[in-house]
Amino acid sequence: KEKSLRKEVKERKEIKERKEIKERKEIKERKEIKERKEIKERKEIKERKQRRERKEIKERKEIKERKEIKERKEIKERKEIKERKEIKERKEMKERKEIKERKQRRGEEQKE
pLDDT tens for 41-78 read: 999 999 999 999 999 999 999 999 999 999 999 999 99
Total-model pTM: 0.53
One-letter amino acid for residue 3 of the chain: K
Q: How confident is the model at residue 112 (pLDDT cuts 50, 70, 90)?
A: low
The percentage of residues in the chain with a pLDDT greater than 90, rounded to a whole number, is 80
Would you state the pLDDT for residue 75? 98
Which has the closest alpha carbon to 89: 101, 100, 81?
81
Of 17, 20, 14, 18, nearest in space to 6 by CA: 14
Output the pLDDT for position 1: 65
pLDDT of 6 over the 90 cut: no
Q: Is 112 strand, coil or helix?
A: coil
How far apart, in whole angstroms, are the C-alpha atoms of residue 96 and residue 85?
A: 16
Confidence check: pLDDT of 19 > 70: yes
Length of the chain equals 112
pLDDT above 90: residue 3 = no
User: Within a 10 A sphere around the Cβ of 109, how many other Cβ atoms?
Assistant: 8
Supply the pLDDT for residue 5: 83
Every domain of the chain and the residues it spans:
1-79
